[in-house]
Amino acid sequence: MSLPLPLDAFNQSLLAQVHPPDWVNPTPLKCYDLLVIGGGTAGLVTAIGAAELRLGLKIALVEQSLLGGDCLNWGCVPSKTLIAVARKVDQIRNASRFGIHCPQAPIVEFAKVMERVRQVRADISHHDSVERCHQAGIDVFFGTAQFRDPHHLQVQQQLLPFKRVVIATGARATIPHIPGLEAVPFYTNETIFNLTELPQKLAIIGGGPIGCELGQALQRLGSQVTIFQRPEQILPQEDFETAQLIALQLQQDGIEIKTATQIHQVIATANQTQIEFQSPKTNPEIQSVTVDEVLIAAGRTPNLETLNLEAAGIEVQPGRGIVVNDYLQTSQSHIFAVGDVCQAWKFTHAADAGARIVIKNALFSPWGLGRSKVSRLLIPRVTYTDPEIASVGISAAQAKSQNLKINVLTIPFTDVDRAVTEGDTQGFLELVLSDNCDRILGAVIVGHGAGELISYITQAMGTNQGLTRFSQTIFPYPTQAEILKKAADRYYQATLLRPGSQALLKLVRWLAR
């Protein structure tokens, strides 16, 4: 187990909740109705959700490291806490545009910033604690889990028989094959929050959501950040316009972005690291930069290696993880997998939604009746840069690649009064609609609070409500959410002006007279 450092009062409080130092594994029962491997979001929601139904099920949860998994310990909670501080620093630095003049630049006490990160994480940890599992009647085992056969799991020296098992072991940072990297100390998302001193110069290998979020936060807190990205744009899952908008903001913050770049090698020097790279499109020569620290943010790899999946006859696909069907069953029908170990969307909320499907399919679908499909989930995603990026459904590019007839509607935040008053007009709402009707196929929001706004659209799509529903909704004025009403009004106006709508328009004019 990798301990969260430093072992101050906050991290000790965290450990007391999610992996008590004096913990002794219980004596296993003769057979468990449900055995869950992995105590991250997917595993906890599965185990606690099933236990709190009070059906008298015998349930066990096995965790190798810390309960709470990525989200609590190395992901959502610490990263968003750090991002919140960085945003406040940026607001102070740029307060002069609001008529507020600070005689001196803000002084960032980085050690205290990280202390607050550890405090927030400790304060939230009771939700994922051993005590909560114990109160729900769950047997908690700490240790490495290995299958002995399709119905037995070994944890340390104990054998746990089971009727059904759920694999929710999550994923970890992918370490790219770069010459010299194994000899250089580097951080991943699992260790970056151990920092107590701000790196003066930081290289981030990978320009996806994790690299951009943490890069912007640490840059605003005072580090000089360089992002290295192999593809031609950062955030390659986004369309070019969105990625370019974020790239410009990161560059305004002072970040150096090296896209379409190949790192040839890294070399350890005295207390620093030299990175040799080549960007053929901008400079064919091999260049180098020397940094104090390196953060690897080059994707995620499912955690499979220690499970001995062959003994259970579970199919695995390299790079993808455990192979599951639409009901989250593995090649063994009584063995399920959920979360980052198998799902394409590696988000906390996707793991939560998947776990709820597993509970239903494993416990409440006899002979396969009434099962739920993971393919029917409508999963929004958010990148927590400033401005934020939020999306759901399909993009305009995806719709066109599927030869779908669509109508794309775009509203800039400059049209939203609340955005103007806040001084946050950067960004837009883009809606992908079915042609000739108001059915929403997808949406992208770039701007302040995009992660909150996307839920309105997700709900509308999930309940088959069209865009015109927003015209009938009264939004408080002024709010950012008014952008949805403006989009609906724009759609109405455009509909009336279509060539085929002239007869309707004449009728409306006659009625108005």
For residues 157 and 294, what is the distance between their CA atoms, to the nearest angstrom? 38
Query: How many other CB atoms are there within 10 angstroms of residue 291's CB atom?
Result: 21
* Peptide bond just before 280 cis, omega within 30 deg: no
Q: Of 285, 283, 291, nearest to 267 (Cα)?
A: 291
Residue 299 marked ligand-binding? yes
What's the mean pLDDT when you consider all of the chain?
Answer: 95
Query: Going by C-beta distance under 8 Å and a sequence separation of 6 or more, which residues neighbour residue 202?
Result: 215, 218, 223, 224, 225, 226, 291, 292, 293, 294, 295
CA distance 50 to 149: 24
Per-residue pLDDT, averaged over 333-342, amounts to: 97
Query: What pLDDT does 425 receive?
Result: 96
> pLDDT value at position 63?
98
pLDDT in tens, 150-204: 999 999 999 999 999 999 999 999 999 999 999 999 999 999 999 999 999 999 9
Structure confidence at residue 493 (pLDDT): 83
Question: Is 207 labeled as ligand-binding?
Answer: yes
Least reliable range by pLDDT among 226-230, 338-342, 488-492: 488-492
* Confidence (pLDDT) at 147: 98
Q: Is 457 in contact with 392 (CB distance < 8 Å)?
A: yes
Say if residue 4's pLDDT is above 70: yes
pTM, whole model, 2 decimals?
Answer: 0.94
d(CA 389, CA 81): 18
Q: How many CA atoms lie within 13 A of 503 on its CB side?
A: 1
Summarize the confidence of residues 69-93 as an average pLDDT: 97
Non-local CB neighbours of 245 within 8 Å, separated by 6+ positions: 387, 426, 427, 446
Q: Is 452 annotated as a binding residue?
A: no
**Structure confidence at residue 219 (pLDDT):** 98
Q: Which two tokens stand for residue 173?
A: 């940072």
Average pLDDT over residues 405-412: 96
pLDDT at 492: 85
Based on the number of CB atoms within 10 Å of its own CB, is 107 exposed (0-12), middle (13-18) or buried (19 or more)?
exposed
Task: Tell me: is residue 405 an annotated ligand-binding position.
Answer: no
Q: What is the pLDDT of residues 110-134, one digit of tens each?
A: 999 999 999 999 999 999 999 999 9
The CATH code that applies to domain 9-173+301-376 is: 3.50.50.60
Instruction: Give dist(CA 29, CA 35) in Å, integer.
Output: 11
Confidence at residue 503, expressed as pLDDT on a 0 to 100 scale:
66
Residue that the structure tokens 């909704």 belong to? 473
Percent of the chain predicted with pLDDT > 90: 91
In the prediction, which pLDDT does 125 show? 98
* Topology (CATH) of 387-503: Enolase-like; domain 1 (3.30.390)
What pLDDT, on the 0 to 100 scale, is given for residue 498? 61
| CATH 3.30.390.30 residue window(s) in the chain | 387-503
b vs e for 147-156, b when ≥16 Cβ sit within 10 Å of the residue's Cβ? beeebbbbbe
The pLDDT of residue 511: 75
128-142: pLDDT as tens digits: 999 999 999 999 999
CA–CA separation, 231 vs 208, rounded Å?
10
Residue 497: predicted pLDDT: 57
For the cut 90, the answer to whether the pLDDT of residue 510 exceeds it is: no
pLDDT tens per residue across span 10-68? 999 999 999 999 999 999 999 999 999 999 999 999 999 999 999 999 999 999 999 99
> Was 49 annotated as part of a binding site?
no
- pLDDT > 70? residue 496: no
User: Is there a binding annotation on residue 339?
Assistant: no
Distance CA 480, CA 450 (A): 9
Can you give the pLDDT at residue 495? 74
Which pLDDT does position 104 carry in this prediction?
86
Q: Is residue 502 scored above 70 in pLDDT?
A: no
Does 80 belong to an annotated binding site?
A: yes
- Residue 417, pLDDT score: 97
Asked whether the predicted pLDDT for residue 507 surpasses 80, the reply is no
Burial 18-34 (b: 16+ CB within 10 A, else e): bbeeeeebeebeeebbb
Over the stretch 251-280, which tens digit does the pLDDT of each residue have? 999 999 999 999 999 999 889 999 999 998
pLDDT band at 245 (very low <50, low <70, confident <90, very high): very high
Q: Which of 167-171, 197-201, 242-246, 494-498 has the lowest mean pLDDT?
A: 494-498
CATH superfamily of 181-298: FAD/NAD(P)-binding domain (3.50.50.60)
Q: Supply φ then ψ for residue 166, to 5 degrees.
A: -120, 120
Predicted confidence (pLDDT) per residue in 479-489, tens digit = 999 999 999 99
Question: CA 363 to CA 55: how far, in whole Å?
Answer: 10
Q: By percentage, how much of the chain surpasses pLDDT 70? A: 97
Quick one: pLDDT band at residue 283, thresholds 50, 70, 90? Answer: confident
Angstrom distance (rounded) from CA 205 to CA 201: 13
Residue 213 in marked binding region: yes
206 annotated as belonging to a binding site for a ligand: yes
Query: For the residues 321-343, what does the mean pLDDT come to?
Result: 97
Single out the residue of 24, 42, 58 nearest to residue 155, CA to CA: 24
Within the chain, all domains assigned CATH 3.50.50.60 are found at: 9-173+301-376, 181-298
